[in-house]
Amino acid sequence: MEKKILKIDNKSFRCKEIPLTRRELKNLLNYRIPCLCCGMEMLHPDVYLKLLGDERLAASASKVIPVLEPFENIMHPVEKQVFNMFKSMAQKYPDKNFQQLLLMKKDVHELALVKIQSSIFNKISFYRRILPKRTARALRKLIIKTNDIIFDPEPHKPFSRRIFIHKLKNILNGYENQKIKDEIINISRRLPRSSDEVCAFVVKNARKKPDIIALNLIHPSVGTFEHLQPKCLNGKNNSLNFALECSYCNNSRHHYPLAVQIEENPYMPENAQIQINKLISLCKKDICKKDYIENLVQTLKELSCEMINLDIEALKD
């Protein structure tokens, strides 16, 4: 098989061969693999692909719900709450589709979302009292612009949590007090995401087509190949650089370093151990390869600056 060297931050991991082909790695998703990052069980992508274009998903809620019920157990928590909301509303409004049901709930959820967001912005604004004048002015300008967006019923561009945190980090970049800087960033991370607040999911999805809303209930659970070293940083495009993550965690990371992903998901090291334990059990059944597990553990350790340091003693038994 093809010889490969995976370069990661000036360090190289040498393997005699690529541990798993794409097909073999994808096959692991048939065995209820938990996501490396969030620990949720993942859906095989082929199952999801079969639902794309399924006309039933655009029908009334009473017809869509039976299609999605087999996937309820692997839905992420917020998506499961929304699905249960749909099931409850469908009893009263059986002829309405998912979009129509969300629009009925949009106003109250949008108000709840804005209350949470504005409360967090106020807590961040408090730090202007102790920041240097230039930094405080930049922070004030960012908060004003952001409030203009969230209080506008029809903003030109919707509020983006990730963009806000990115701009906030840039403003604080030259500030020397690391403790205060960390406090401000940690407060900003409390801003609701559609993955952790029902109100954010409702507001984000209310203007989408009913079939897209239905797919969005299960899309976060779809298993994907996560490039541990991003492709834009010359990460390899094979299993030497692949880990199995749900679609949500993969898309949320973008090209940011693994350490940033751990900051956003502090239970990732524990969840990575759960996935490794599952892979080890599959290895003992000759479904997964030992070389893949060993390389994955080593790569995670290096890229995470040893924040992910996994136990594979069971692999030796």
Local confidence band at 15 (pLDDT 50, 70, 90 cut-offs): low
Local confidence band at 2 (pLDDT 50, 70, 90 cut-offs): very low
| Tens digits of residue pLDDT in 129-148 | 999 999 999 999 999 999 99
Distance, CA of 307 to CA of 262 (rounded, Å): 8
Instruction: Identify the residue with better confidence: 223 or 254.
Output: 223
Local confidence band at 1 (pLDDT 50, 70, 90 cut-offs): very low
Please, are residues 195 and 248 in contact by the beta-carbon 8 Å criterion? yes
| Tens digits of residue pLDDT in 31-81 | 999 999 999 999 999 999 999 989 999 999 999 999 999 999 999 999 999
Contacts of 188 (CB under 8 A, 6+ apart): 120, 124, 164, 165, 168
* pLDDT confidence of residue 5: 36
Local confidence band at 16 (pLDDT 50, 70, 90 cut-offs): low
Please state whether the predicted TM-score (pTM) of the whole model is above 0.85. Answer: no
Distance, CA of 313 to CA of 315 (rounded, Å): 5
Distance, CA of 68 to CA of 218 (rounded, Å): 8
Q: Region 271-292: what's the mean pLDDT?
A: 97
Q: Which amino acid is at 304?
A: S
Residue 264 pLDDT > 90? no
Query: Cβ-count burial of 91 within 10 angstroms (0-12 exposed, 13-18 middle, 19+ buried)?
Result: exposed
Q: Region 277-290: what's the mean pLDDT?
A: 96
